[in-house]
Amino acid sequence: MSKGDVSDVRLPVYYQGQMDGGGKPHLGPIRLVVKGALVEIERYGESKLVQRDSDRSRRMVDLHAEHSAVVFSFLLRLTDGDRVESEDHLQETMLRAWRHIDSLPAGHDELRRWLLTVARHVAVDAYRRRRVRPQEVALTDNVSASYEDVMEIVLAAQTILGALDALTSDQRTLLVEVYVYGWPMSQVAAQRGIPIGTVKSRTHHALKAFRKAKR
């Protein structure tokens, strides 16, 4: 199927609307067009509009496939392992990305930092809402302590993100590959086409710069 032939394309795209009796954003294989900041379900309209939205939708699909796992893992740490809450925060993060799809950072590292920053804001905002409305939370000492732990994690995450921003792009990518993705140094060396000794040396210097930036 050519790029211009989109009549049968079904893409998983985040949208805002009423589905299954609820008003929360959902992710699903839908046929869509975009009107302003919202995505509405309907039959395809003019071919020019369809092509534009098809390109934007594909970018959102690529973004989700490439970054959602890392963002979700980050959110799990912020929510003390609460998968349901992390999924809600991830969905909100991706919805905000969709709303800014035409102005998102082009670079891989810059886009990931943008998403992690948005995810952090979403998690912090949700925490603050719980603090304002404590009656909506189970009133147990364990839950209260858990939220305090969450805030410590949030503050630690802010420090880490700030330190990462102080590194060069290569240093930042190297640390993410080794310590976030957990890639062995042999794999990093093979992907970069450099000796493993060079990877170890660069990782050492990147860690040194990271620790200095955290002070």
Q: pLDDT tens across 117-134, in order? A: 899 888 888 877 776 654
Mean pLDDT of all residues in the chain? 68
Residue 197 has a pLDDT of 92
Residues of the chain with pLDDT > 90: what percent? 5
Residue ranges, comma separated, of all CATH 1.10.10.10 domains in the chain are 168-215
Amino acid at the residue 124: V
The CATH number of 11-165, from 3.40.630.30, 1.20.120.1200, 3.30.300.180, 1.10.1740.10, is 1.10.1740.10
pLDDT confidence tier of residue 198, bands split at 50, 70 and 90:
very high
Q: How far apart are CA 66 and CA 114, in angstroms?
A: 14
Is the CATH number 3.20.20.70 carried by domain 168-215? no
